Amino acid sequence: MMSIATRIGFILVIGNVAFKSNGATVLWSMAYAVAWWVMGVLIAMPLMFGQVLFALDATTLLSLMGHVIYGLIMAFVAKKIITK
C-alpha cells in the first residue's frame, strides 16, 4: 500500500515534467526512488530500531537497487496509462 501511495505522489508532484520524454522519465523516477530510499532505509528504519543512521552495507545497497528498479517499472507503467 505504501508503494502505491508513493507512486501516486510521484505522478502528482512531478508527473508532468517526468513524462515529457523517456529520458526524463528515467531520471526523475530514479531520483524519486533514491529519495524514498534515503528517507526510509537510511533514516526512518534505523531511527525506529535504534541503529546507526546512513549505514551503507550490502543489504542497503541491494535495497537501493530494488527501489530504483521498482521505481523505473512503475514510472513507465504510469506513463503508459496516463499518455494513452
Per the structure, the complete domain to which residue 26 belongs is given by 2-82
pLDDT on residue 68: 92
Query: Is residue 83 within 8 Å of 19, Cβ to Cβ?
Result: yes
- What domain count does the chain have? 1
Each residue of 10-53: pLDDT tens digit?
A: 777 776 776 778 888 888 888 888 998 999 999 999 999 999 99
- Read off the pTM: 0.77
Question: How far, CA to CA in Å, does 37 sit from each of 7, 19, 84?
Answer: 13, 22, 30
